[in-house]
């Protein structure tokens, strides 16, 4: 089974928009990415700006929106990634965020503008889910 | 009822798979393929990320790259062996000689569809028909 068949949304032949979520906190990343998938987007995940660039440079991947945390470990933070994208991929939109609440708000806005044009559930539930998982994961 | 007459029906709820792979170029391909097969897929780029997810979220199957930086892959194996909840595992690595008691092993480089087919078999999952 090839993934190429999943590149079209259910609505006619509209290409499915692809979002790259760049977030070093794994529980925030997985909840936000899952929410955006339920909104109808195709979503890739990157742990760092370095990983994000590897995905952006992959010839088979076309990213429409980079959704990145500002604060990331190492020399390359979200601002650095945004500058790189604007220099190298000016057609790609960059959205910078910080923290679970802000990320959930922005994800909600993307959902309303996305292929399904509605939120699968309230963004406060995204924040609550992240808090619940963080409380469960002893190592976080 | 004899064991021979038991029929195992395919699952209806998508199983959750955690893909643990340090190389993003492999991780996104495998994750994309598994999603195309209808699985719910979580991604971890390192052993600490994998352990955090395993502590927080129930996972049906792990696709684990043993060749994570450091001893990372083996840290995850130890965690699973100490866990009271058994979790199925597919192990991948560029190495050729690995213990044969870890579960199905796929040597790198591999096609993402190989992993998806093994996962479907292991989890008794019938992928949805292609759109």
CB–CB of A55 and B24 under 8 A?
Answer: yes
pLDDT of residue A102: 93
From the CA of A30, how many Å to the nearest CA of chain B? 7
Minimal-distance CA residue of chain A relative to B37: A1
Considering the domain A15-132 in this protein, what is its CATH number? 3.40.50.2300
pLDDT of residue A116: 82
CB–CB of B131 and A54 under 8 A?
Answer: no
Distance, CA of A14 to CA of A18 (rounded, Å): 12
Q: Which residues of chain B have pLDDT under 50?
A: 1, 131
Minimal-distance CA residue of chain A relative to B114: A1
What class, spelled out in words, does domain B13-122 have in CATH?
Answer: alpha beta
CB–CB of B131 and A6 under 8 A?
Answer: yes
Structure tokens at B114: 């190989």
- Render B67-123 in DSSP notation, one character per residue: T-STTHHHHHHHHHHH-SS--EEEEEES-S---TTSS-EEESS--HHHHHHHHHHHT
Question: Which residues make beta-bridge pairs with B42?
Answer: B18
Distance, CA of A62 to CA of A19 (rounded, Å): 9
pLDDT of residue B108: 93
**What confidence category does residue A24 fall into, taking pLDDT thresholds of 50, 70 and 90?**
very high
The torsion angles phi and psi of B106, rounded to 5 degrees, stand at -120, 120
The domain ranges of chain B are 13-122
Task: Indicate if the pLDDT at residue A14 is higher than 60.
Answer: no
Which of B28, B47, B130 is the mutation pick for testing A, counting most A CBs within 10 A?
Answer: B28
Instruction: Indicate the DSSP class of residue B64.
Output: E
From the CA of A111, how many Å to the nearest CA of chain B? 19
∠ at Cα A100 (A117, B49), nearest 5°?
Answer: 110
Q: How far lies A125's CA from each of A106, A121, A137, B105, in Å?
A: 14, 7, 18, 38
Which of B42, B51, B113 lies closest to A30 in CB terms? B42
A44 or B100, which is more confident?
Answer: A44
Q: What average pLDDT score do residues A27-40 get?
A: 96
Q: Is the dihedral of CA A76, A81, A70, A123 positive or negative?
A: negative
The residue behind tokens 């049906």 is: B60
Query: Which residues of chain B does A41 touch, with a Cβ-Cβ cutoff of 8 Å?
Result: none
B18 contacts chain A (CB < 8 A): no
Residues A69-113 pLDDT 10s: 999 988 899 999 999 999 999 999 999 999 999 999 999 999 998
B131 contacts chain A (CB < 8 A): yes
In 3-state terms, what secondary structure has residue A107? helix
pLDDT of residue A126: 92
**What confidence category does residue A22 fall into, taking pLDDT thresholds of 50, 70 and 90?**
very high
CB–CB of B42 and A58 under 8 A?
Answer: no
Nearest residue to B105 (alpha-carbon basis) of B78, B35, B96, B45: B96
The residue behind tokens 């798979």 is: B17
B126 contacts chain A (CB < 8 A): no
Interface of A with B (CB under 8 A): 1-3, 5-6, 8, 26-27, 29-30, 33-34, 37, 44-47, 51, 54-55, 58, 61, 133-134, 136-140
The domain ranges of chain A are 15-132
Which of B33, B35, B56 lies closest to A137 in CB terms? B56
Task: Indicate if the pLDDT at residue A6 is higher than 60.
Answer: no
């Amino acid at each position: 089974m090839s993934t190429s068949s999943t590149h079209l949304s259910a609505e006619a032949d509209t290409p499915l928009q692809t979002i790259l979520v760049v977030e070093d906190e794994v529980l925030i990343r997985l909840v936000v990415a899952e929410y955006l998938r339920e909104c109808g987007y195709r979503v890739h995940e990157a742990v760092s700006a370095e990983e994000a660039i590897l995905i952006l440079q992959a010839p088979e991947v076309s990213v429409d929106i980079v959704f990145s945390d500002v604060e990331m470990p190492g020399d390359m933070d979200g601002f650095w990634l945004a500058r790189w994208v604007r220099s190298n991929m000016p057609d790609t939109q960059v959205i910078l965020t910080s923290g679970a609440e802000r990320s959930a708000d922005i994800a909600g806005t993307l959902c309303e503008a996305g292929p399904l044009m509605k939120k699968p559930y309230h963004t406060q539930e995204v924040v609550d889910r992240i808090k619940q998982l963080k409380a469960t994961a002893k190592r976080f | 009822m004899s064991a021979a007459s038991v029929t195992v029906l395919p699952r209806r709820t998508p199983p959750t798979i955690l893909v643990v792979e340090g190389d993003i170029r492999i991780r996104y391909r495998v994750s994309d393929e598994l999603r195309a097969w209808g699985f719910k897929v979580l991604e971890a780029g390192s052993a600490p990320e994998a352990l955090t997810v395993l502590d927080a979220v129930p996972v049906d199957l792990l696709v684990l790259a043993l060749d994570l930086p450091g001893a990372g892959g083996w840290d995850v194996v130890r965690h699973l062996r100490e866990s009271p909840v058994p979790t199925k595992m597919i192990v991948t690595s560029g190495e050729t000689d690995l213990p044969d008691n870890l579960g199905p092993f796929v040597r790198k480089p591999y096609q993402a569809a190989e992993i998806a087919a093994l996962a479907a078999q292991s989890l008794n999952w019938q992928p949805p028909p292609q759109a």
